[in-house]
Each structure stands twice: as structure tokens, then as C-alpha cells.
Amino acid sequence: MNHKLSLQIIAVITLFAITANAQQIKEMAPGVTRVTVGEADQFSPYNLLQEKPKVEAMNQLPATEAGIDPKAIRVELNARGAVVHIPLGNDEELYGFGLQMNSFRQRGLRRRPIVNDNPLNDLGYTHAPTTFYLSTKGYGIFINTSRYTTFYCGTHKQVKGNVNVNTGAGNGNGQSVEDLYKNSNKQSGEVIVDIPGAKGGDVFIFNGPTLKNALQRYNLFAGGGALPAMWGLGVQYRMKADSKQADVYKMANYFRDNHIPVDVFGLEPKWQTAAYSCSYVWSSEYFPAPQELIDKMKAQGIKLNLWEHAYTSPASPIYGALANAAGDYKVWNGLVPDFAGKVAPKIFADYHQQTFVDKGIAAFKMDECDNSNLATGDATWAFPELSQFPSGIDGEQMHQQFGTLYFQTMYGNYKRSNKRSFFNIRSLNGFASSYPVALYSDTYVHKEYIRMISNAGFSGLLWSPEVRESSSVTELCRRTQTAILSAQTVFNSWYLKSPPWLQYDRDKNNRGEMLPNAKEAEAHIRALLNFRMSFIPYLYTAFAKYNREGVPPFRALVTDYPEDKATYDVWDEYMIGDNVLAAPLADSASSRRVYLPKGNWYDYNTNKLYTGGQTYTIETGLEQIPIFIKQGTILPMAKPIEHVDAATKFEITCYVYGSNPVPAELFEDDGVTFDFDKGQYNLLFMEWRSNKGKVNRKGNLKTQKFIVNTWIKI
Ligand code: GAL
């Protein structure tokens, strides 16, 4: 071959390579742009998304300014996979990456959001490994992959061009030994994403203009936020794993006799004939008459929630049918259903529909879907990454998506039945905002539990900081306060015979030694749970706003106050709805420092007015609620009830904080069906003018749930 010809061939090949890797830019929805280079993955979060974007709500958001120019996103493809480069300005702060436990601000960190139940040195391992981050500059970036990715959040500079150009001497020029190791790269102008195995880079840009707007677009793009069944916002109590039917009856009577609110009872593994792996068959030894149980609970206003996981036991009636629709490795000798295909979800869903949903089971706790435990070498509680599934998905991508796919399978039944619910789950991934389900964990560090409330809000997730044992009554109350100020209030007594307020110590509890002051502790918990029940109308309305506008009901302060740099580091306070700031106390604290953003704030317990923009030391009693109310708020609080049902009427008192409050809203629907989606709801507008309260109800719904009868001016 002559020299000229070979040059021509090289030129053609190079041209082809450049064309093949050309950047494709596509508008996906208002303010949402997709940038693709190379081949997008088949099992990407976007391809797995079943919901439609709420385009009209996105159009209502303020006009977007390009937070990031799509053309500035650079993708390199090489033999290892894809590398995505996203510009990062010097003054930007980053948040997100799913349900992070150990850190809040993410700039300067290396993040590997990999699904796992153990955080492991803040590498990014998490129950919800969402490949999404938000910038204070007012945009969000979603990497559309289910592979294990690593984000270098402004930590590295790529060597480009002439390496001999002098750019400084490096580290070690200062006075101290520490100077040797100072990271001089923190101001790097990009986020670099490593996606081994990918044949392309696929990036979604969610423009703001503000961080909050970008977050709204992310949630709306995935179908809006979840609106759980109203009863789901009440209290959930999970029974000890070896409870029998009679124990459940006894516990229900205890709650009702002592007027302790409860809406949901959870049954843990032993309700089934086999649990590790699962049979999904009632154990006749533990629960001889399941329908009687469901009906009796219903008569007492208690819904049932069943624990399970997806690894299907040979003892299950669906094992045979699943045999050809499962992965090629077992877990606990059970099959791993291929939820990314078409066959397994149908078998799994149909069986659950007939056996449970049609019989009145209201919800499920979906356990063990988080590749536990990746952090230790001796745990084999999950299928290997090298697994293959009939649909073509591999074990790695299946792990990242397992919770989401499993949830879609189970939730589909409720949707088709026009029944709303509120589930518990151990893993989710991107574009999950519309799912009425809260994440939970076996970890138990109280401060982390609080941080996870703030972090969940950045990624379209809901988090439940469940209460189990404690070391004192004070700690138990603090944990309960955090739980009532979260998306889902759960007492997970799966290893406690009696409720933790009768004995917080695990061993003593199970030996039947109750606290000498058990009645006093019970009274504290009752008071706190009563608050939760009073708060439901406000909370439910915040969820409706999540559903319709994509604003998370629980979100970090920086979401609402991005111009206030003092909020950038505040991970242990968060907004609930638009007007309530929560500052839970961790462990056994009796006071804590609270930063209040600009404006004026009322301590909910004392009505004392505080000027914002400052930090205060606040003391909170065991029956008090660590929240602050923004001046200018009308806060609707209901007379506490013991559970929510279809006929519940909430008797509302409106508390008026300040002289010229902004009108408040309540969202009213049947609380249990999806009919609100077809316009079956009312909005109540509450105004305070000339020292008088006025309510204006607009909408199509005939029945009224909220009766506003009292106004109190603070
Ligand atoms: C764990 C779960 C606990 C409890 C337990 C029962 O994996 O996180 O909440 O359900 O299983 O075996």
C-alpha cells in the first residue's frame, strides 16, 4: 500500500470515529436537555422509567437560563468505557448522589454511588445510588446509566496539551508538614464521571434557573412527586418477627386501649412459611386465619403491611414459573426474578395481586434489594455482579436498579386497582420521585438519619428514620421526634417484643422487664405521635405540592435559601413544606444550635420570635416539637385522631403567625384513590384579614375532609 493511500484510509477512519462520537443534543421537556455521545445503555434509568413527564407543570416554572451549555459537556470514549466531563465554576457547591449518609456538601469528594446498605468510609455507597447532582448555580446533572460510576467532584485536572508548560511547583512549598499533602486540586473546573463498560455518555441537564427549580424539573420529569395514601402519613408499628396472630390482636388492643395513634401494622419475616428465601405463603402455624386478621385489623382502623424480599424460594408457588425468567445465580437458594424483562414481573405481580392486594393487604416492606453487604467479604447475601439475566441486563446494572424494578412490579398492582399506598424499601435509584415509598436502613446512627432527610430531598427520594431500641427515654424521644418530622413514621420492633417506650433496652424488653416509668415514657410518645396526626393536613398538602409541582416535602435549607451561604453546610435542619423548619435533636441532647435563615421565625413550642440570619441555642423538652414557623404563616393543625380512614373529618385550628400572613392552602381529596389525577379534589384557601379568618374552597370534590373551625392569632 502506498503512503498516500494509507494516509487517506487513516483520515477516513478518523473522520468516521469523530462522526460516530458526535454529540447529539435533544430537548426532552421544558428545561431538560439530553446530551448523548456514542451508544446509550439499554438498561438506563431513563429507559426503565414508566412515568410521563409533567410538562405543563414544568412550563409553569420560571424561564430557564442555560445553567450549563450542553456543548460544554465533553465525552471521551476509550477501551475502558466512557468518561464524561462537566464544567464546574469556582464558586459552585454540589449536592445529591442519592441517599448519602456521611456527607452533605459533595464538592471536592470522590463519589461512587453504588447500591449497598453500608456507607463504608463515605465512598458514596448508599441505599439509593442516584447518579444525579445539583449545583448552587441552579442546574442538575443526571448521568443516565445503571453502571457503577465514579464522580470526581472537582478533584482532578486532566493533563492536556503541552505538559512542559510550568503551572506551579505542586505541593510541599509551605512551612508545615501538613502542607505536603494539601490538595491543590480542589478548584478544578470540572466534574469527571468514569463509567467503565459504557459505550457512550448519556447526560441529562436539568436547568433551573434556581437549584430548587432544577430539582422540581428533575422530579416532574419523572412524573412528579409521590402522594402517598393519607393513612400512610400516620404511624406504622412493625411487630416482632416471630409474632403470631394472637400477638397482633393483643398489640392492636394495647394501642387502641391506650389511645396511641397507629395506622399500619407491619408483619416481619415469619408470617411466611419460608422467608430467606421467600415463599409468599402465609404460615398456618403463625397466622392460621389471614383473612380474619385482615378484617379484624380493618375494623380497628389498622392496615397491614407485609415484609418480603424478591428472592423466591423453592417453597413458593411461583418458583417453577419463574425458573426461566430469573438470573443464573441464586440467593439463599432462591431465584432472582428478572424484573428487567417482561415475564417475571407479570408472574410476580399477578400472584401478589390475587394473594394479597385483592384480599386487603395495604402495603409491602421490600427488603434485601440493596446488594447487602458489599462492605464485608464474608457476606454472600446477594447475587454476584457477573450474573446474567434473560432480559440481557447484567448483575451490576441489575443491582443498581433492583429496588426500582421490584417496586414498579409491586406498585403496578395498586395502580391498576386504583388504590394508593405507602411502601417501605431498602433501595431505589434515579427518577423515583413519583413512587410512594420510603427508604429505610439497618444502620442506626441518629445524626446520619437526620442528614439523610436533607440528602433524600436532593434526589427525589423519601427517607424513614425508623425507631428501634434506645439507650434512654431521652434518646427514644429524640429519635421519635426525628421520625415524626420525616416522610414516614415507623417503629420497627422486628426484634422487640414490646414497644420500645415500655422498655427501650433490647434484652430487657425481650425478657419482659418493663421500665419502672413505662407509663411516663408512653405518655411522651403519645404526645409526639398526636402531633404527627395533627400535622397530617399540612404534610399531606406538602406532598400534594410534591406531586403537582415537584417540590420535595422535606428538603435541605439551601434549596429554599440558595443566596444565603450560611445554609450551604446545614445538613441537620430542613424545611417541611414551605413554612416549617425542623431542627431535630440527636442522641440524648437537650439543646442544640439552630441556624435560622433570613426572616423571622417562631419557636413552635414557646411562640418566641427569633430574627433570622443567626444561630441560636434552643432547648427542647421531650414532648415538644423541634420546629420553627416562618413569620407570615397560617399553620393548619388538626385535632389529633388515632388513625385515618375514608370517613375521617379533620377538625382544623389555624394558627396565625404574625400580622399579615400569606394565605395558606390545603389539598383535599379522598386520600386513597388516584381520582385526584382526574380532577377530583378541592383546594382550600385560608386567609386572615382584619383579624378574621376566611376559608374559600374550590374544586370538584363533594365530600369535605377538612373542617376549619378555629383561628388562633399568635
Ligand atoms: C432486615 C430489615 C429489618 C428486618 C429484618 C428481618 O434486613 O432491614 O428491618 O425486617 O430484615 O429479618
SS3 516: coil
In a mutational test of the pocket of ligand 1, which residue from 268, 270, 492 has the highest number of ligand atoms less than 8 Å from its CB? 268
Residue located nearest, by CA, to atom 3 of ligand 1: 442
The confidence score (pLDDT) of residue 217 equals 98
Alpha carbon of 134 to those of 191, 559, 645: distances in Å? 12, 10, 38
Atom of ligand 1 nearest to the CA of 367: 7
Start-to-end CA distance of the chain, whole Å, equals: 91
Q: For residue 449, how many other CB atoms are within 10 A of its CB? A: 24
pLDDT band at 514 (very low <50, low <70, confident <90, very high): very high
Q: How many angstroms is it from 367 CA to the middle of ligand 1?
A: 7
Pocket perturbation via mutation, ligand 1, pick of 307, 311, 463 by most ligand atoms within 8 A of CB: 307
Distance (Å) from CA 26 to ligand 1 centroid: 43
Atom of ligand 1 nearest to the CA of 275: 12
Report yes or no on whether pTM surpasses 0.75. Answer: yes
pLDDT tens-place string over residues 167-184: 555 655 667 777 776 655
Pick the closest to residue 375 from 193, 127, 95 (CA basis).
127
By the 8 A CB rule, do 329 and 387 touch? yes
Mean pLDDT of 73-92: 96
Q: For residue range 192-249, what is the model confidence (pLDDT) as tens digits?
A: 999 999 999 999 999 999 999 999 999 999 999 999 999 999 999 999 999 999 999 9
At residue 119, the pLDDT reads 85
Ligand 1 probe mutation, 238, 308, 494, most atoms within 8 A of CB: 494
For 283, the 3-state DSSP assignment is coil
CA of 441 relative to ligand 1 center, distance in Å: 9
Beta carbons of 351 and 318 less than 8 angstroms apart: yes
Q: Which domains does the chain have, with CATH numbers?
A: 25-158+185-221 (2.60.40.1760), 230-544 (3.20.20.80)
Contact (CB, 8 A) for 368 and 309? yes
**If you average pLDDT over every residue of the chain, what do you get?**
94
Residue nearest to atom 10 of ligand 1 (CA): 268
Rounded CA-CA distance 624/608 in Å is 14
Output the nine-digit C-alpha cell for 704.
369535605
pLDDT at 470: 98
pLDDT surpassing 50 at residue 635 = yes
Strand partners, 307: 365
- 573 CA to middle of ligand 1, Å? 28
Return phi, psi of residue 422, to 5°. Answer: -150, 110
Ligand 1 interacting residues, C-beta cut-off 6 A: 241, 268-269, 307, 367-368, 442, 492, 494
CB neighbourhood size of 276 (10 A) = 16
- Give the atom of ligand 1 at the shortest distance from the alpha carbon of 365: 10
Q: What percent of the chain has pLDDT over 70?
A: 94
Q: 276: which residues sit within 8 A by CB, 6+ positions away?
A: 269, 311, 332, 334
Mean pLDDT over 521-528 rounds to 98
Cα 421 to Cα 423: distance, rounded to the nearest angstrom = 6
Taking CA atoms only, the protein residue closest to ligand 1 atom 4 is 494
In tens, the pLDDT along 260-292 reads 999 999 999 999 999 999 999 999 999 999 999
Q: What is the pLDDT of residues 453-486, one digit of tens each?
A: 999 999 999 999 999 999 999 999 999 999 999 9
pLDDT at 171: 58
Q: Whose CA is nearest to atom 12 of ligand 1?
A: 269
